[in-house]
Amino acid sequence: MKNSVVIKSFQNGISLHLDENIPFQELLDEIAVKFRESAAFFKNAKMALSLEGRILTDAEEREVADVISDNSELKIICLVGKDGDVNQNYLKALQMLHYDSEANEGQFYRGTLKSGQILETESSIVIIGDVNPGSSIISTKDIVILGGLYGAAYAGASGSEGHFIVALEMSPEKLTIGDFKYKTKEKTSKWSIRMKIQPKIAFVKNGQVVTEPVTKELLSELPI
């Protein structure tokens, strides 16, 4: 009998190859069995998840992730697709940050913020998508954008300066941390050509907001 769910691994993640013909509920049941049987292997690992072989709606993807969480201690940090370069940028940013969603009571938002949209949260947040011009993300803690920051971002909204904002591409309209505002330079169009994506982190240093390229060395020295 052909397996309806096949688990494969890749660097920093796992891939589920799903049968496209069986009913979705049966598929969920088999995923539950697979991960109960593999619970000891995964333990409390944090991995990215790729879903292959079957087209799923956003709601179905969430159900798959929930079933995995309910039947193992594996923590899914993000869903990735077939774009290898984009996936590597997502994973690299997460690795560099050593981001602990439990310790920071963090949230994940999967999608792009469009002009006019405002997303507010009282916890740290990871956005898997862009923050477009005219949109805003506001957090009382930290903000990680696995995409481009082209709109406004406000971290430490409770007034605390000991927070940070990270983006794979940093070109904000407005950027504020605590009571400190970043003095944006000449605006760069979202659509302008970039030779290389350079993740950057914004934080407060000597009473002003600065942005610097993300490196392990910098992260270990940050006063946050």
Amino acid at 207: G
- The count of structural domains within the chain is 2
Query: Domain check: are 53 and 112 in the same one?
Result: no
Query: Domain check: are 9 and 67 in the same one?
Result: yes
Query: Domain check: are 188 and 103 in the same one?
Result: yes
pTM over 0.75: no
Confirm if 27 and 2 have CB atoms less than 8 A apart. no
**Tally of CB atoms within 10 A around 155:** 30
Dump pLDDT digits (tens) for 118-169. Answer: 888 888 888 888 999 999 999 999 999 988 999 999 999 888 888 999 998 8
Q: Which residue has the higher pLDDT, 197 or 17?
A: 17
Query: Domain check: are 173 and 116 in the same one?
Result: yes
Tokens 């302008």 belong to 192
- Give the CATH number of the domain where residue 33 resides: 3.30.750
Q: Which residue has the higher pLDDT, 42 or 24?
A: 24
Query: Domain check: are 66 and 138 in the same one?
Result: no
- Give the CATH number of the domain where residue 215 resides: 2.160.20.70
Query: Domain check: are 102 and 196 in the same one?
Result: yes
Query: Domain check: are 201 and 91 in the same one?
Result: yes
Dump pLDDT digits (tens) for 187-210. Answer: 444 444 344 567 889 999 888 899
Q: Which domain holds residue 50?
A: 5-80
146 to 56, 62, 143, 170: CA distances (angstroms): 22, 19, 10, 11
CA distance 23 to 209: 52
Query: Domain check: are 90 and 74 in the same one?
Result: no
